[in-house]
Chain A
Amino acid sequence: MVGFSPIPAMSMMSFAAGSRFLQLFGGVNLSFYDWYCDLPNSFPEIWGEQTDVAESADWYNSKFVAVMGANLGMTRTPDVHFFAESRHNGTKTVVFSPDFNMVSKYADQWIPVHAGQDGAFWMAVTHVILKEAHFEQKIPYFIEYTKKYTDAPFLVELNKEGENYVPGRLLRANSIEKYKASENGDWKFLNIDEKTGEFICPPGSSGHRWQEKKGSWNLQYNDGETGKEYNPLLSLIEQKDEVLQVEFIHFEQNKKVKRGVPVKYLQTKNGKIAFTTVYDLMMAQHGVSRGLDGDYPAGYEDANSAYTPAWQEIYTGISSGTVIQFTREWYKTAKATNGKCSVIIGAGINHWYHSNLIYRSATMSLILTGCIGVNGGGMNHYVGQEKLAPFDSWGAIMSGKDWKIPVRFQQTPIWHYIHSDQWRYDGNQADYNAVPKNDFSSQHSADLIAKSVRNGWMPFFPQYNKNSFDIAAEAKKSGATGNKGIQDYIIDKLKTGELKYSVNQPDNEENFPRVWYIWRGNALLSSAKGHEYFLKHYLGTHHNEIADEVAKEFVKEIEWKEDAPEGKMDLVVDLNFRMDTSALYSDIVLPAASWYEKADLNSTDMHSFIHPLSAAIPPVWESKTDWEIFREIARVTSEVAKEHLPEPMLDIVNMPIAHDSPGEISQPEIKDWFTGECEAIPGKTMHNIVTVERDYTQIYNKYISLGDNVRNGLGAHGISFPCEDYYDQLLQNTQHVNTIDGKKYPSIKEDVKAIDAVLLLSSLTNGKLSERAFENAEKNTGMDLSKLRPQNNDFSITYKDLQAQPRRLLNSPLWSGTVENGRAYSAFTMNTEYLIPWRTLTGRQHMYLDHQGYIAFGENLPTYKPSPRPELYGDLRKSVKEGRAKLFNVLTPHGKWHIHSTYGDTLRMLTLSRGMEPCWLNEKDAEALGVKDNDWVGSAKRQRGLLYPCLCEFANSSGHLHHLPRTRTNLFCAKIAQPRK
């Protein structure tokens, strides 16, 4: 049983209703943020954070703003005034967009970069920054920033591959004698002290974070082991033993180049190791020679050598003069303002191929000019709406953690890829993706998913080809005792093949997903990537799927069945207040209260306030709030359980190894226990296996009561704080207390009571808890954070207070920006100002990604990769290319007035657009196709399930590029379509 509900931060209690029920039941929650491709992968890569950005008010503080892939006027309508207002206060604005769009009109410079080629532009920007601002001018602010806050001074091993050297892993602290015995020595790293030339072990690494002795997880210039003061050496160029020619791959030209890099040597028990710094690798990768030999560009005008301004012209269509002027204005502004240059970036990039590489390339330009962790600076990504500000308390209620249950949270992209059988139509990923050829990069994605599941990198449900209750019962029967006994039993059965992972046999009946709850969103068609596959393999209904199944010859891990199953799902239940496509395809539609008929909470990254939703009118007709609907489902479930599952059941839950937990430092290398490369240790070399007892007759009681695991404290992101006194305070309200088995619990039966519990128990909305959270952070970091504590620690709010006026959130170490005294939230200002590490491997911002997978894919350094050619994959291989048809790139599925909103579906907005979301074509393309304005055209990708006609317009603005209809809420596109014959 799975559930899907998007954008939890928008009406978070309604989201929590379904997820709380599902988790208490033992069901599965499907994620939305990554499924919508809204999650910027570069953020966890660089900062160890899902997403953390400036609130829109901080745009006003920027003095140079570059906007790319984000049409602020269209998608951030309430906030774009800050952008306009900043201009009149002397801010320069540059907009990158293939079409002259709503935000371009605010630009001082409009740069119509070819779609998806922004990365090439930024690689060249970084080239110019490194050459002029770093190497030639050595601008002190930039150099100091780079040393202090980035992994640039960290040492990287160079490995010999055949005749050539290639960048390898970061040099571990325990590889040298001095730090050999250090705790977590595999997770501590090395710098060289500028003054003495000695190795030092910077504090603040993940090894320091999770070690027994607390207090050295910070960014001070004191050796993390010895405490000795140091100053990191950024480059070995002045202290090199030798210059080695290191190999770099230029994917766009499919060639390897050798560039000289300064190195030093280290004698280890495994022999002599050559190493350099990340900074030196960045210089070489970006083609800044600094007088070293090798295949370095001759100058900016060298078009054949990556990554010069002339080189990027080929990909972007933008003159090198434009790049150079842009870069100089950029770094001069950053120099004059100590980092007030910012990038606003959005779905136009994030939904594009290699979006993380494009993001990383722009982020390098920001980091190298000290523009991260500064008001007016920042990599400001606005895609989706992910910021659940009071994540600590809300997270407990949403997940049922208050009842101390293990969660089944599912990463949705891999789940649909496997279950909706899209993997069957997919070939070897290396065939359409520019990667270095090796075993890791050249495999079928489904195989890699299977490996990731068993090795604990990814969750996947169902877990096994056997009911978890049955496995637990059989384990017990066979004499297994305790958690450990059951773990051993399962590992044994997996090794002998008696038990299989469901992910390996997705087309076997026992592994099908059966029941799907959808609420607060439109999962079918709108959010479905590959709608035709959903229709075919999940629903077994009419579909227009035309692609060939090609995976058979590639998959090794996944079992291939000749006939793909159709209609895997038994029941689809939709909670909705609209008859949208999901409702049309569901078995049961439960009428849900709309936004203005219920109490709820909203938070966002666009501003730093928490907002209420209030019932202006009661839910109309028979509709109910989500909180009530799932409460009722829980009640009936418990009723029915008295007959069908009267006894407590022992359940087994597989849990992947999580970020921000000690487990994150358990796998220094990729090793597969299943193939015998290492021992199977749950929670270390493989996923964890935990047991939980579920009493189905008590699900309702637990749903309506706040469990006493809250007494053990709350927290998130590795921060925790005690809150037992506030739990007791809730119990004081005797009118809202439930008694279960003679024990009293705070009641959250009513939605408003659940909201009040969230507000009382969060460090974002309760001053005392904020204070305690900072106390906890002080212990971990050893830093004085007293200035960050709220000035008014008596601050607390209730739902009633919020109804009177939205309130600003408090400082909390759960997040990274400071907001005291009306200061605008900008991400990572706590890190830069209070020397709190980022939650990364080294604790610094990562230019270099020290991971075998990234190295295998050639993405350990920021790079440029070309877009895959669409003819090579999926059903485009079979799409019509003749006659009045043409292959286009979709620029964005986002349109005016319907960004994560039903607003665009109102009659008003449909009247102000063209009655539906039209398809935008360039005038010349339309002419070539013989279509005119107001004609109907069919689009044959993603909407193939419908192939509805749609309106055609000409926007001269887009040059050679094209909008296609938004595929999110196609409700009206579909509605207007005549039923096809």
Chain B
Amino acid sequence: MKNIRSQISMVFHLDKCIGCHTCSIACKNIWTDRKGAEYMWWNNVETKPGTGYPSKWENQDAYKGGWEKNGDSLELKGAGKLKGLKTLFHNTHMPTMDNYYEPWNYQYSKLLDSPEMDDQPTAEAVSMITGEKMTPKSGPNWDDDLSGSPIYARNDVNMKDLSPSEKETMFQLERMVMFYLPRICNHCLNPACVAACPSGAFYKRGEDGIVLVNQKQCRGWRMCITACPHKKVYYNWNTGKSEKCILCYPRLETGQVPACMHSCVGRIRYLGVMLYDADRIKEIASCEEKDLLKKQLEIYLDPNDPEVIAAAKACGIADSTIDSAQKSPVWKYVKEWGIALPLHPEFRTLPNLFYVMPLLPAMAQINDDNNYHTASSALWDDMKNPRLPLKYLASIFSAGDVNIVGKILEKLMTVRLHRRAVTVGDLNQNEVNTAMLASGLTPEQADGIYRLTSLARLEERFVIPPAHREEAIEMIEETHIHKGNTGFGFMDRPKRGL
């Protein structure tokens, strides 16, 4: 453990997500309400099954995002040193306007200026790119709540492991299912965007791992757009530069929660520091696909382990950051309880946003007499036959490992059984105990999961490490001089980062 770093990481609790898109609005209003950024949604929410935004972004056969294993080594799927040079002037795998959508607005003035007509006036849609009249045919959330499912949901890339009959049954009324997947930049440990940038404009901040684009250095090659397998880097057609989620670092640096998380109506978001061993990145990112998930989870170090603490201090990590890591809700969800998984670990970017699985209603059947039947002998379904096929969830969150996904659902149900036993007491306690044993949870852990899921207040959900801005300031000027300039910002980028 020679190279310990701190990373601000996140957990999104999918069982709690409402699909209200308030996060998207908060982000959009603050960061991308500008010319050239109209189509960008640094934060978006997708209905799953569905094709998402940009359409079918997960299909790397088409978009060539992320990394691929090449022997013992690792290379970018679509760009990279040699490949990138070849395609420098003809970057073929980028999403186009059709894959995102053409942003539009309305001719509101028509409502005021219209002459008297036979019918009431209407404000027609106009393109925000061309200014021409248009009929919107796609958008950043076109398949909301399974709308247009024959076109979108049925073509979800993650159903690739399902047999045709399994696929078909997913769309029968009694098996109908959906959940929401909110997405932002994963601020990966092994970011493909950083690696792909020919101009060195991308960097990962040393102190908290936030991935940023230097707007002065970006030359608009757009290799990052292809390289990011999550399609969370966007090209601004007005400035000619790439842009992406900055995890609201100006807010974080002043102790405020990122806007998407602060506004989260469902209270599904958690943020905290994780300590990791940066020397293991290459080894882990290039391991066999079946080991990827397990290995990624190994990279995070126990912030309560005295050895880790000593090593972290030696690496210059502030005491306050270590203290934050010890209180991190992300640590609890990801490592202590093991109920949150990263998005598409097989893209090999080692993402830092983890998701708690959605439970969803018990499976039902249509009886011979054509009636819908959802009765079972137990109060709750035991998750042996979940409504959402495990293979589908595993395709999104565990590189195909259905066991780990199943185990998480079992743990979540066990928490509920335990809390039912505590608050109502109408269950057979032996059965509850058996379930606890099988899930591997102690009553204390179950209570902890319940507390953080149901009762945690803002300061427990978001444990933000103090920024130590003095360290950044002193790199540029004397801190006492800076005091008088506070509020005017830095004139130059501080020399830090990877």
Contact = CB atoms under 8 A, between A and B. Distances in A.
Nearest to A324: B375
Contact of B424 (A63, A73, A100, A910): A63
A972 B106 contact: yes
A953 interface: yes
A791 interface: no
B176 A956 contact: yes
A581 interface: yes
Nearest to A584: B120
Contact of B371 (A102, A313, A542, A972): A313
B144 A957 contact: no
Interface size class of B (residues with CB under 8 A): 35 or more
A608 interface: no
Contact of A108 (B22, B177, B361): B361
B283 to A, nearest CB: 37
B419 A88 contact: yes
A907 B372 contact: no
B122 A976 contact: yes
B147 A918 contact: yes
A579 interface: yes
Interface string B156-177: 0000000000000001011011
Interface in B375-432: 375-376, 379-381, 412, 415-426
Interface in A556-582: 579, 581
Contacts of A972: 106, 123
Interface in A780-824: none
A912 B380 CA distance: 35
Contacts of B420: 63, 90-92
A333 B420 CA distance: 10
Nearest to A101: B145
A109 B360 contact: no
A336 B424 contact: yes
Contacts of A584: 111, 120-121
Contacts of A337: 424
Contacts of B142: 914
Nearest to A312: B371
B178 A105 contact: yes
A81 B265 CA distance: 7
Nearest to B120: A584
B100 to A, nearest CB: 12
Interface in A942-981: 946, 953-957, 959, 972, 974-980
Interface in B332-368: 358-362, 364, 367
Contacts of B423: 63, 89-90
Given A108-B380, A317-B370, A911 B104 contact: yes
B104 A84 contact: no
B372 to A, nearest CB: 5
Contacts of A953: 147-148
A107 B361 contact: yes
B9 interface: no
B204 interface: no
Interface string A568-608: 00000000000101001100000000000000000000000
Interface stretch (B183-191, B208-216, B435-443, B449-457): B449-457
B369 A313 contact: yes
Interface stretch (B67-75, B84-92, B133-141, B311-319): B133-141
B152 to A, nearest CB: 8
A581 B139 CA distance: 26
A317 B371 contact: yes
Contacts of B417: 90
A112 interface: yes
A112 B16 contact: no
Given A319-B374, A956-B176, A975-B122, 20 more contacts: A63-B424, A85-B455, A88-B15, A88-B449, A90-B424, A91-B420, A92-B380, A101-B145, A102-B19, A104-B361, A108-B361, A108-B381, A322-B374, A329-B379, A896-B145, A912-B21, A933-B147, A974-B122, A975-B124, A976-B123
* Chain A to chain B: the 5 pairs with minimum beta-carbon distance, closest first: A90-B420, A90-B419, A85-B454, A100-B176, A319-B373
16 contacts: A77-B20, A87-B416, A88-B412, A110-B176, A319-B375, A320-B371, A321-B375, A324-B375, A579-B111, A584-B121, A911-B104, A912-B141, A954-B148, A974-B122, A976-B124, A978-B124
Interface of A: 60, 63, 73, 77-78, 80-81, 84-92, 95, 99-102, 104-105, 107-112, 313, 317-322, 324-326, 329, 332-333, 336-337, 542, 579, 581, 584-585, 896, 907-915, 918, 920, 923, 933-934, 946, 953-957, 959, 972, 974-980
